Chain A
Amino acid sequence: QQQVKQSPQSLIVQKGGISIINCAYENTAFDYFPWYQQFPGKGPALLIAIRPDVSEKKEGRFTISFNKSAKQFSLHIMDSQPGDSATYFCAAAISSGSARQLTFGSGTQLTVLP
């Protein structure tokens, strides 16, 4: 059972455009929503994260929008650059004792054309 659904699977955007990746979750117990960025040949790395008590978090050109009632969250990349070309994973976590367990989405391969 896929608890975090991510779309689209792939995305092509022109340089300077806005990239939008969407995720939906089912488990209302999730309390932490990070996004990871993965470049070819590398492991994923944390990009930005949000908690359900806020509706938006911005870090530079990257913004997470969070809609608790709809159980959806999205990543917006403003002024997309070729260097942003990577695979992006959304994730959700539920506190489990003293550790959080991350459930990842299926990933979005973003290509930003020069």
Chain B
Amino acid sequence: EAQVTQNPRYLITVTGKKLTVTCSQNMNHEYMSWYRQDPGLGLRQIYYSMNVEVTDKGDVPEGYKVSRKEKRNFPLILESPSPNQTSLYFCASTHLMGLTGELFFGEGSRLTVL
């Protein structure tokens, strides 16, 4: 089954404790992206990657890191989480969007930073 898999789905952590949210896709997509969803703000892009070893900042990259060492994986790293990073996070992927433009999303990771 074609899918984008995120882990963990739910996480409660404390300020300053490094964490990683993993994302994996099995559709051989070149493009992967991370978004955060907050009430009233919609989906805001954190980072994206157009291919292995190619990453770029989105609209709200502060406090986050990413890496793309393999085509299928795109982990999101919070080196020192803060309460303002409490949010619902989505990973998404697609073939390079010049074709259909359809993003395929994971089911989300709800993060709470105390």
Contacts and interface: CB of A to CB of B under 8 A. Distances in A.
B97 A99 contact: yes
B45 to A, nearest CB: 7
A43 B42 contact: no
A106 B42 contact: yes
Interface in B82-107: 90, 92, 96-98, 101-103, 105-107
Given A89-B43, A104-B43, A43 B106 contact: yes
A95 B98 CA distance: 7
A23 to B, nearest CB: 11
A89 B48 CA distance: 19
Contact of B42 (A46, A97, A98, A107): A107
Given A41-B107, A43-B106, A32 B42 contact: no
Given A43-B90, A104-B43, A98 B105 contact: no
B50 interface: yes
